[in-house]
Amino acid sequence: MKEADDMINKLVCISVNHKKAPVEVIESVFYKDPAKGMNELRVKSFSDEIVLVQTCNRVEAYIYSRKPRTSGKIIKSLFKNRIKGFKDGEKDEFIALFFGEEAVKHLFKVISSIDSMVIGEQEILGQVNKDYLKAVKAGVTGQHLHIAFKKALAVGKRVRKETGISKKPISLAYAAVDLIKEKNDLTSLNIIVVGAGRTGKLIVSSLKDHNAVNVTILNRTLEKAIKIARKYNYKFASLLDLKSYLRKADLVFVATSAPHYIIKVNELRKVLRERSKGMTLIDLSNPRNVDERISGIPCVELKTIDDLRLIAERNRRERLKEVKKAEKIILEEISSFRREMRKLVARKILKKVFTRAEEIRKRELERAIKIIDFNETNTKVLDAMTKSIINKVLTPVIVKVEKAALNDESEVVEIISEIFSGVRR
């Protein structure tokens, strides 16, 4: 349907992302005040609608404009003005433009995480939804981008539900927890996490996601351990108490920035003499914080970053296999999006039909009232009756327009639109 195609062709995405631009370029384009940024971009580019999607790996403006090429070029120029320290030609290389259906397809790929630096990441789904709601709150979006983003959110959920793209962890921290979960019931283990930095936080978060109960966070700076422990309802302790906690631990995660061993082979041997069960240690530190000679102790299992990288890489390859399934879903949903746009065309035509019919009804009702001296009660009855007539007469038209729009019967839709546009007053 021509009208639906015309609407789709007015969609544009202007993107600065990790595939073409370094981090410092993405940071320079980033809008700290998204509402102000969207208003500025929409007004200066003469766009009708805009949504600004911003993450650590991308800044993208999605617009609907009656002059898509012009608006896209203006926003590209505005992005370029924010990038410093590069020649004009270099700046062009950092910015990608997608028009029409390609813009929609790009949005679907982004929210499905197949365009992410980490394929299968979960966070992008929530980030895109959050940014869309910011645009709604700022009053800068409308019905066309509403349909696009509503459909995108459905696509993101469907891809994750019907493929395994997010199932295998590729973060070292999540891979570490997943490795233990395969052979153990985390709810029954006594677990300690040594380190409260970024990796330590990810480990604790993953443990909580997998229902670990008995977890203690140890850190040199106790305040950091307390903050994380309270967030997840776990226990905390000072790193100075490590030995006493090792006596009870079944599972130990170590992730600190210390340049030396925190757990040494001879010290661990002493601890093990005081207990009757074995222990698993996972060292995610670089440099290593666990003496590698510990792997020679019979009742101890030691896993290092190298072991986890192999697992993470294997999982990454598994996720890549799922990309084709995701792309197939996206193609199906592009067709579904086209149908949604055809429905929008139908709604616009039907609104025009009802508006024109209502104008005629009111005009003829006023004529009748002038000719015949109706009282207030009779006027209300006549008003209700004429409304009922209009609704009954137009019901077949509504059904036909909706059906024709969904079946892409452009001629039928155009004829009905022209008929009601040309009714004389």
Helices (H), 9-142: 23-29, 34-44, 68-82, 88-94, 101-112, 123-138
How crowded is residue 259: how many other Cβ atoms within 10 Å of its Cβ?
A: 8
For the segment 318-359, what is each residue's pLDDT rounded down to a tens digit?
A: 888 899 999 999 999 999 998 888 878 777 777 777 777 777
| pLDDT tens, position by position, 256-285 | 988 899 999 999 999 998 888 889 999 999
The CA distance from 156 to 145, in Å, is: 16
Catalytic residue chosen out of the listed positions 23, 43, 56, 331:
56
Which residue type occupies 240?
L
Q: What one-letter code names the amino acid at 256?
A: T
pLDDT band at 421 (very low <50, low <70, confident <90, very high): low
Report strand pairing: 300-303 vs 279-283. Answer: parallel
Q: What is the CATH topology of the domain spanning 2-167?
A: Beta Polymerase; domain 2 (3.30.460)
pLDDT band of residue 308 (cuts 50, 70, 90) is confident
- The pLDDT value recorded for residue 425 is 37
What is the DSSP secondary structure assignment for residue 163, as one 8-state letter? S
Are 285 and 172 contacting, i.e. CB atoms less than 8 angstroms apart?
A: no
Which two three-digit tokens encode residue 143? 């019905």
Question: Tokens in use for 263?
Answer: 């757990």
For residue 178, pLDDT over 80 is answered with yes
Work out the pLDDT band at 423, boundaries 50, 70, 90: very low
Q: What is the per-residue pLDDT across 125-148, written as a single tens digit (0 to 9) for each?
A: 999 999 999 999 999 999 999 999
Torsion angle, CA of 112/163/165/149, rounded to 10 degrees? Answer: 10
pLDDT recorded at residue 398: 65
Mean pLDDT, rounded, for 371-376 = 71
Residue 310 scores a pLDDT above 90: no
- What's the rounded Cα separation, in Å, for the pair 221 and 240? 10
Residue 246 CA to residue 297 CA, distance in Å, equals 15
CATH classification (class only), 176-308: alpha beta
**Which residues of the chain are in CATH 3.40.50.720 domains?**
176-308
The yes-or-no answer on residue 13 being catalytic is no
pLDDT greater than 90 at residue 179: no
pLDDT for the residue 64: 98
Mean pLDDT across the stretch 150-165?
A: 95
For residue 376, the model assigns a pLDDT of 72
**Which residues lie below 8 Å from residue 214, measured CB to CB, with a gap of 6+?**
189, 190, 191
Helix H or strand E encompassing 14: strand 11-17
177: buried, middle or exposed (CB in 10 Å: 19+, 13-18, 0-12)?
A: buried
- Angle in degrees, CA 277, 279, 282, rounded to 5: 175
Work out the burial of residue 65: count CB atoms within 10 Å of its CB; fewer than 13 is exposed, 13-18 middle, 19 or more buried.
buried
- What Å distances lie between residue 2 and 181, 400, 409, 410, CA to CA? 54, 17, 10, 7
Residue 413 has pLDDT above 60, yes or no: no
| Mean pLDDT across the chain | 88
Taking residues 198-221, what's their average pLDDT? 93
Match 């003499």 to its residue by tokens: 273
Smallest CA-to-CA distance from 174 within 312, 286, 316, 57 is with 312
Q: What is the DSSP string of 218-232?
A: EESSHHHHHHHHHHH
Nearest residue to 220 (alpha-carbon basis) of 247, 243, 197, 238: 238
Residue of 18, 11, 225, 23 lying closest to 103 (CA atoms): 11
Name the residue with tokens 């010290």. Answer: 267
Local confidence band at 424 (pLDDT 50, 70, 90 cut-offs): very low
At 225-249, the pLDDT tens digits run 999 999 999 999 999 999 999 999 9
Q: Considering the chain, what percentage of its residues have pLDDT values greater than 70?
A: 91
- In angstroms, rounded to a whole number, what is the distance separating the alpha carbons of residues 85 and 88? 10
Q: How far is CA 15 from the centre of its chain?
A: 15
Reported as a pLDDT band with limits 50, 70 and 90, residue 80 is very high
Domain with CATH 3.30.460.30 in the chain: 2-167
Percent of the chain with pLDDT over 90: 60
Whole-angstrom distance, CA of residue 24 vs CA of residue 290: 35
Region class of 188: left (phi > 0), else alpha (psi between -120 and 50), else beta? alpha
Collapsed DSSP state (helix, strand, coil) of residue 424:
coil
Q: Give the pLDDT score at 394.
A: 67
Share of the chain residues as helix, strand and coil, in percent rounded to the nearest 5: 60, 15, 25
Q: Which of 177-191, 389-403, 404-418 has the lowest mean pLDDT?
A: 404-418
pLDDT of 406 reads 61
Residue 404 has what pLDDT?
63
Task: List the beta strands (DSSP E) in 169-269.
Answer: 190-194, 214-219, 235-238, 251-254
Q: Flag whether pLDDT at 4 surpasses 60.
A: yes
Averaged over 387-413, what is the pLDDT? 66
Q: What pLDDT digit, counting tens, does each position of 84-111 carry? A: 999 999 999 999 999 999 999 999 999 9
| β-pair type (251-254, 235-238) | unpaired
